């Protein structure tokens, strides 16, 4: 790590605070220290740019003015891009459960070794970075999905989505105009065959099913499948 990776330590014990700061500085982290949750929130509010915010918060649980659970909840609501590791001298299940419910990424029992501290810090930073990247990619995919949906909807050609059994799930605006329907409600009442061939839907479905079966058999035997398939269609037509 380098000095650009800032950590905000929220700890009301001078001894614990001094120890943790020394351990982190040995790994070249930049450390800011406050002694309660309310001061931590005020510190974050004074950060004028996103780059001024810490990459991680290390917070004790039991502190005056605002405890670690309350601070973690505030971070989750207003600073969701900053992960939090909870610190406590009490190793009990209730505190662990409350910490994770409040939104903590991890939990450390004091006193901890340098290895425990550094490994947990690095793990949380990596995990949060991965999650942030995934969320960004999902947002980009959602935008592309909306763009594609808009293109499909405005297309004048026939575009449809069906289930595996050929039940119509969606038809674009141009497709609805081609088949003479007003909306997708009526389209979804039909199979693709009935939608495209309203008078001979079942016959077309049966023909295609036979053709597909014949093509599969031809491929299985490796006996000139395309010739076999086309010959069958021509015979039926």
Residues 197-214 pLDDT 10s = 777 656 666 666 666 555
- How does the average pLDDT of the chain come out, rounded? 82
7's enclosing H/E stretch is strand 6-10
What are the structure tokens assigned to 182, written together? 């007003």
Q: What is the pLDDT of residue 93?
A: 84
Q: What is the pLDDT of residue 209?
A: 65
Contact (Cβ atoms closer than 8 angstroms) between residue 41 and residue 73 = no
Q: How far apart are CA 133 and CA 124, in angstroms?
A: 14
Per-residue pLDDT averaged across 106-130, rounded? Answer: 91
Pick the range with the lowest mean pLDDT from 18-22, 31-35, 47-51, 139-143: 47-51
Residue of 216 and 35 predicted with greater confidence = 35
Task: Determine the pLDDT at residue 210.
Answer: 63
Q: Which of 120-152 are b and which e, b meaning 16 or more Cβ less than 10 Å from the residue's Cβ?
A: bbeebbeebeeeeeeeeeeeeeeeeeeeeeeeb
pLDDT at 214: 55
Q: What is the percent of the chain where pLDDT is above 70?
A: 82
pLDDT at 211: 60
CB-CB contact of 12 with 63 (8 Å): yes
pLDDT band for 156, please (50, 70, 90 cuts): confident
């Amino acid at each position: 790590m380098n000095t650009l990776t800032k950590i905000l330590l929220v700890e009301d014990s001078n001894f614990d605070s001094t120890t943790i700061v020394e351990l982190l500085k040995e790994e070249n982290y930049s450390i800011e220290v406050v002694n309660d949750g309310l001061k931590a929130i005020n510190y974050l509010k004074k950060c004028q740019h996103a780059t001024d915010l810490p990459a991680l918060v290390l917070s004790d649980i039991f502190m005056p003015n605002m405890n670690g659970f309350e601070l973690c909840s505030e971070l989750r609501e207003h600073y969701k891009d900053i992960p939090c590791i909870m610190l406590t001298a009490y190793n009990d299940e209730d505190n662990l459960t409350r910490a994770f419910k409040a939104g903590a990424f991890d939990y450390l029992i004091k006193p901890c070794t340098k290895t425990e501290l550094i490994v947990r810090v690095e793990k949380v930073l990596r995990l949060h970075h991965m999650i942030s990247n995934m969320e960004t990619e999902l947002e980009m995919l959602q935008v592309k999905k909306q763009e594609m949906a808009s293109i499909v909807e405005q297309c004048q050609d026939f575009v449809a989505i069906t289930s595996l059994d050929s039940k119509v799930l969606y038809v674009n605006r141009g497709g609805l105009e081609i088949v003479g329907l007003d909306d997708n409600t009526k389209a979804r009442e039909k199979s693709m065959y009935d939608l495209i061939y309203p008078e001979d839907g079942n016959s077309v479905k049966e023909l295609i099913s036979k053709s597909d079966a014949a093509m599969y058999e031809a491929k299985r035997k490796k006996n000139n499948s395309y010739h076999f398939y086309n010959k069958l269609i021509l015979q039926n037509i």
